[in-house]
Each structure stands twice: as structure tokens, then as C-alpha cells.
Structure 1
Amino acid sequence: MSESPTLQLSLGPVLFYWTRERYAEFYRQAADWPVEIVTLGETVCSRRRDMKLDDWLGIGRELTQAGKQVVLASQTLIESEADLRDLRKLCDNGDFIVEANDQSALQRLSSARLPFIAGAALNLYNPATLGVMARVGMQRWQAPVEMSQQDLAQLIKDCHQAGVPQPCEVFAYGHLPLAWSSRCFTARRHQKPKDRCQFVCQQYPEGLMLRSQESRDVFTLNGIQTLSGACQDLRHELSVMADMGVSVARLSPRAEGMAEVVNAFNQARHGRLPSPSPLTLVDAETCDGYWYGQPGMDNTRTGAI
């Protein structure tokens, strides 16, 4: 496998609800990890208020001093005027570029002529849409998590032919974000109403597993968000990504073992993969089905972690 030094690694936003102390310790460690980009912010639930915008900005400045490119991510599901007020403050932060994860953020950023990152939840599937986004300030876009390698390669090729060369980012590791709802499934599991949830999701720093009757991990419940049961692991595909024109591979934070995950991906992007048995990153099922145009929960690599 040839080296692919132009492929950057990004650390996505923490999708789960942690304590302030856990966030602080996690990002203190991340400052020394071999990732070029770090995305910060609460993208799931507005009731998770332990971290304020000023807290994220403070962490962002520290990471910038450590040589990281910092991005602030917007909430994916906007449900109230209070959410919109917080979104306006985020978009107008004045320090860091914003990842737009819904149309409200996109409208705010494009109207203000501010550059932005297009999140995967915007569902960008064709060069015409990406061209419109580029004209209103898009600097990078994330492929939808269910898009196959074959379809993405064709889309990147079509974008270049259409004169839309903005960098593409692929979700390469972690529980795949699949859906958002106005209902909180974690609160319901504890028989609590959403507006009096007592923040029970903080009891699950890697989400609440939902298993089938066959005891297979099907989904991970994370408050109002539904994630895949298994972690997507595409580190064996990094050289393919680089060859097809992907610029950034995103790693979604986990509560344990994340330094090991980052180091394994850093080795992989330089062509150093364990053989014949894959390196065990963390104790979790993995999947890669979407990448190969198959059901997302499939794991196509025999013996993969």
C-alpha cells in the first residue's frame, strides 16, 4: 500500500453527553494526537447545557495553539426559538469556521457570507447542489454516511468536471449517525418525559445499546439521536479514499480507547497496516457495509475487529 500523506484526519464532535471534566480531559489529550482538524460543539440535544459556547471557544483556542484546525459544529435538529438564538451566536462566533448541520445554520451562514463546512446531515448527493453550496461559501463537504465508495468516487469525479473542487470528508470511524427525532429515546427507556429527563443520557458515555432478539447490536440510542450499533471502521480504505480524491477522514470520538484509534488510523494513512490480523482498536463490533453498497451493519472484512 502506498503512502497517502495528503489525506488529513479529523476528530468529529463528541456525539454523546459527557461531563465537563471528561470533555476537558479528552481534548487535553487530543491536542497531542496526530489529527489535523478538530470539530467541537453539541450537535445532538439543546438540553445538554454543561458546555456553553464560551467553553467550546476556550477549548478551540487551546487546540489552535497546539496546531489544530478548529471547527464549531451546529446542532442538527433545531426545535425552538432558543435553539435559533444559540445557533446565531455560534455562527457569529468570530473565531472559528462553522460546520452547518441543518438548513437553519446554512441560511444564517450563507446570508452573512461566512465560509462554512457542509455537514453530512445536509444530504448532498449531486454536483449541482454542491455547486450551489460552493457559491454561497462552502469550504468542505461531508459525504452522506450511507453513500458507497463507488457512488462517492463518481460524485467527486463529476464535481471536478463541473468545477466544484471543494474537499470532501468521509466518516471513517465511529457509530454512524443515522437519524434524529423530537422524542428522546433514552429518557423514554427510563420512563421520563423529555422535558424532565434528568439528563439520564449522561449515564451512557457511549450511548445505550439496542439489541435484537438474536442479541445483535442493532442501534445505539443517544438521546434524540439514533446511531449504528456497530462502529464503522474504514481504516483499510484510506489509500483508496486518497486515490479517489477524498481529503479528510473523520474519526468520531469514543469515551475509551480513542488515542489508540487515532494512532491506528495515522499508521494506516501512511501505509502501515497490521498483517495478517487487524489491530484491535477497542472492544466493539465494527461495520463497513455502506462503503461497499451493502446493508450498513455488514462487516465485509473477514476477521475484522
Structure 2
Amino acid sequence: MNPLSFELVLAPIPYFWPRGRVLSFYEAIAEAPVDAVVLGETVCARRAELRLPDWIALGRDLAAAGKRVVLAGYALIESESHLKWVRRLVEQDEFAVEANEMGTVRLLAAAGRRDWIAGASLNVYNPHALAQLHEAGARRWLPPPELSRAALAHLLEGFTALEQGTIETELPVWGPLALAHSARCFTARHYRLQKDACEFRCLAHPAGLPLATRDGADFLVLNGVQVLSARPWSLMDRLEEVTPLAQALRLVPAPEGTLERIAALDRARRLGEMPAPEPESCNGFWYGESGFAYRAPSSSPLAAR
């Protein structure tokens, strides 16, 4: 494979990690070959070991290390205090913002910002919706996780036909898929606790709380108010299929293996070295199949050509 051209982006940490672990993780990321880092709490407002001034200070450190920094907003706004936090996020103009729900989009558009990113939880499925976000100021977007390669290509063709300008596409290539958000906290429920008295039990699960079927097979991961896929999503061994459609590739931080995968993707773009297949991952959505499925590289549609 020839060397590839893409921006390498690190997503926000989806899990609730102690403050010290978060800071140590980003100290390592400052030296890693990622181009951009998205910071912030996107899952639950009760996870407040770092507040907005802390994220901004961390962003400045990463920017000094040569990283482009983006601050991400919540995927679920449930109270006036959450809305106040989002307003502060939009009002700061030091870093770009990733919008993960439509209230944040409205505030960004009203502020006249043209530097924001439309997150995957906005659920864009057609070119007209993408054109509306672009008109509101989005310069980049992330497709929802279940959008197949064929559907994505068709959507982008439709957007181009609308002649609304250009917008960058960013695709996740490794990490758990965020499948759902809820006003109910699944982790608190597991421990028979009320959401507002959860005792921060998510801290005990740095990779989420696994959920198995009656037969003992991995099924989902509970992550507070969020439900994740049990298997990590991986298109790392499909880069020749991904890069024609996306200008940036995103990885989701994990307790283990993040730096190794960053290095593998960096070798792919510098040296053309394809990352190894990961059969324990999933990629079914990419081919319009069950999301839990894994299709080997030799059986992918492009590989057969």
C-alpha cells in the first residue's frame, strides 16, 4: 500500500477516569503523532473531575506541543446548569468546538462561529441535513456509526450536487461505537442507585461495564448514560476504502492500546504499512451488515476487485 494522506484525530475520553489518570494520558499524547485532540466530557455532567477551565488549560498545553485542539460538548443536555456550561463552551474562542446535540449547534450558529465540528450524535443521514449544518457554520462532520460505506459515498455525492461549498469528513477507525444515550444512568441502575446519588460508580469501570447475553457472549458496554458496543469498531485495516471518503480519521481513547494504534496509523500514512486485522473487532455497519459482524479484508468488496 502506498503512503496515505489523512489527519489523525484523538476523540474525547468516553470513560470516567480520575483526574490524575486523565492528565497522565494526555502527557503521553502530547508526544504522540496525532494531529488533533478533542477534549472534554461528552457523556455525563456529573463527571466533573476536570471542569471547563481545566480542559482549556490542558488544551493550551497540547497546543504548545503542536496539536490542534477542539473542545467537545455534551451529547445530552438535561438541565439549566448543563446549558450554562455549553454557553461558556461556545463563548470561549480559543479553541474550536465539537457540537454533539442541536442546542449547541443553535448557540454556535447564533454566535456566528464558522469553526465548529458536527459530532456523530447529530445523526446526519442525508445531504440536505449536512448542508444545513454547513450553512450554520460547520466546517467538518462525523457520520453516525451505522452509516455504511455505500450510503456515505451517496450522501457526499448528494452534498456536492447541492453546490453548498465544501465540508470535511472525519471517520472513526478504532474504538467502541456510541450506540445510544439516555436520561437514565445504566451504571447507577446496575448498582441499584439513583442517578443523582450514583456514588460515581463509573470510576470503578475505566473501560465501562460489560453486558453479556444469557449465553455469556459479550453484547454491550454500559458507560453511565451511554451504551457502547462490546466489540471495538475497527477500520484500521481498511484504510484504502476509508481515505477516499474522509480527510481525517479518529481513534477513541482506551485504557490500553491507544498509543500502539496511533503509531500503527502513523506508519500507514508515512510508510504505507497497513495495520494488522483485528478479528475481535467489528466492522459490519461499514458494509451494510449487522454492526456486530466482522468481515475479513480478503472478503471486503474492494479487496475482491
TM-score range, shorter chain: over 0.9
Q: Paired residue for 2:87?
A: 88
Q: Paired residue for 1:14?
A: 13
Contact preservation (8 Å) 2:174, 2:233: yes
Under a length normalisation based on structure 2, what TM-score does the superposition of the two structures give?
A: 0.93
Under a length normalisation based on structure 1, what TM-score does the superposition of the two structures give?
A: 0.93
Q: Paired residue for 2:99?
A: 100
In 2, Cα distance between the equivalents of 1:230 and 1:302? 17
- The 3-state SS of whatever aligns with 1:170 is strand
- CA shift for structure 1 position 134: 1.2
- The 3-state SS of whatever aligns with 1:169 is strand
- CA shift for structure 1 position 157: 2.1
Q: Paired residue for 2:119?
A: 119
| Paired residues for 1:1-305 under 5 Å | 1-5=1-5, 7-115=6-114, 116-163=116-163, 164-243=165-244, 245-270=245-270, 271-273=272-274, 278=276, 285-301=280-296
Contact preservation (8 Å) 1:180, 1:224: yes
Instruction: From the superposition, tell whether residues 255 and 237 of structure 1 become closer, same or farther in structure 2 (CA, over 3 Å).
Output: same
Contact preservation (8 Å) 1:71, 1:99: yes
RMSD: 1.7
- The 3-state SS of whatever aligns with 2:175 is strand
In 2, Cα distance between the equivalents of 1:269 and 1:156? 23
- The 3-state SS of whatever aligns with 2:206 is coil
- CA shift for structure 1 position 216: 1.6
- CA shift for structure 1 position 125: 1.5
In 1, Cα distance between the equivalents of 2:280 and 2:61? 34
In 2, Cα distance between the equivalents of 1:214 and 1:8? 41
Contact preservation (8 Å) 1:235, 1:268: no
Q: Which one-letter code corresponds to 1:151 in the other structure?
A: A
- The 3-state SS of whatever aligns with 2:231 is strand
Contact preservation (8 Å) 1:238, 1:269: no
Contact preservation (8 Å) 2:277, 2:297: no
- The 3-state SS of whatever aligns with 2:46 is coil
In 2, Cα distance between the equivalents of 1:213 and 1:267? 41
Contact preservation (8 Å) 2:238, 2:297: no
Q: How many residues align?
A: 296
Q: Which one-letter code corresponds to 2:128 in the other structure?
A: A
Q: Which one-letter code corresponds to 1:173 in the other structure?
A: W
- CA shift for structure 1 position 237: 1.7
Map Cα deviations across residues 243-290 of structure 1 (whole Å, 9 max, x no partner). 2x311111000011211111112223442025xxx366xxx9310111
Q: Which sections of structure 1, spanning at least 5 residues, go unmatched?
A: none
Contact preservation (8 Å) 2:236, 2:277: no
- CA shift for structure 1 position 35: 1.1
Map Cα deviations across residues 205-231 of structure 1 (whole Å, 9 max, x no partner). 110000112222110100000000100
Contact preservation (8 Å) 1:11, 1:252: yes
Contact preservation (8 Å) 1:10, 1:37: yes
- CA shift for structure 1 position 133: 1.3
Q: Percent identity?
A: 39
In 2, Cα distance between the equivalents of 1:144 and 1:234? 15
In 2, Cα distance between the equivalents of 1:179 and 1:80? 19
- CA shift for structure 1 position 89: 0.6
